[in-house]
Amino acid sequence: MLTPHYTGRFAPSPTGHLHLGSVYTALASFLEARSHHSLWRLRFDDLDTPRNVAGATTHILQTLETLGLHWDGEVDYQSWHLDDYHAVLADFITSGKIYRCQCSRKNLTDIYAQTCRYQCISPDLPHSLRIKTDDQQIIFDDILQGWISQNLATQHGDFILKRKDNIIAYPFAVVLDDARQAVNHVVRGMDLLNATPKQLYLQHLLHLPAPNYLHVPILVDAKGHKLSKQTLATAVDLTAPNRVLFQLLDWLKQMPPFELQNENVGNVLEWAIQHWNVARLKGVKHIAI
Ligand SMILES: [Zn+2]
């Protein structure tokens, strides 16, 4: 029986189809796990319910299967664990680590001025929940991006754990999710690098182990914009899934041999697992396609 020292995961949001940018990250995460003979979990980050799209989970599962990216165990859904997030929030309220905030979300990019930190706001009024941060430096060694050092107070401020519309915020939810799934090796896109210091802070408060982090470059279009649903990136064309994998391996700088594009999905992945060298992406922040 294999006792994995390493568990990875892919955690898409069911907000639409998988586009090339998302399968790029999925493949990197899959290859990191499989080349370490390790588990690869699948979870749907489905808490932002207004953005969820009916049928997206089915489409995503089919896309991963067609590309041969098979996951281990049952698929997990954040929405199954709402009670867990709320239980931690209740503890945080009791211990004074978080506070209610009634401010509007207008200036999301600004550091929050702590306006509501010392006010008494009724739980019956609509409010977000913010965590108290202090002037400390969060430092971590990203496997690809190197040492990252950010100040919690001046670069993040008192950040939101639960939005005013009751949606649990991403950095808080994934801390509990990764712990629940025993994930200790997080591979995801560079666009989430800045969520990491918040997660490390929460893991520290909750006495949870911090996973290793590996942030892969994001794919950008000719104008330098990230491929995303917002930029209307189209669904992956699955008429030739082996060619899709070949293209992704090229963008992952794995230098796949030309003949490989005529091999079937299983053979392409087998080659990719054997030859996987993530260091070729060291320090790369985006890939223009
Ligand atoms: Zn406020």
Dist CA 198 CA 206 (whole Å)? 12
**102 CA → ligand 1 middle, Å:** 5
**160 CA → ligand 1 middle, Å:** 10
For residue 135, report the phi and psi dihedrals to the nearest 5 degrees: -75, 80
**103 CA → ligand 1 middle, Å:** 4
**162 CA → ligand 1 middle, Å:** 13
**269 CA → ligand 1 middle, Å:** 49
Dist CA 104 CA 106 (whole Å)? 6
Q: Which residues surround ligand 1, an ion (CB under 5 A)?
A: 101, 103, 115-116
Mean pLDDT of the chain: 94
Note the pTM of the prediction, 2 decimals.
Answer: 0.94
Check whether domain 17-289 has CATH 3.40.50.620, yes or no: yes
Q: How confident is the model at residue 234 (pLDDT cuts 50, 70, 90)?
A: confident
Check: CB of residue 199 under 8 Å from CB of residue 174: yes
Could you read off the pLDDT of 52-79 as tens digits, one per residue?
999 999 999 999 999 999 999 999 999 9
**122 CA → ligand 1 middle, Å:** 13
Residue with tokens 């609509």: 126
**37 CA → ligand 1 middle, Å:** 47
Beta bridge partners of 138: 150
What does the domain layout of the chain look like in residue ranges?
Answer: 17-289
Q: How far is CA 247 from CA 55, 139, 206, 254, 279, in A?
A: 27, 34, 41, 10, 18
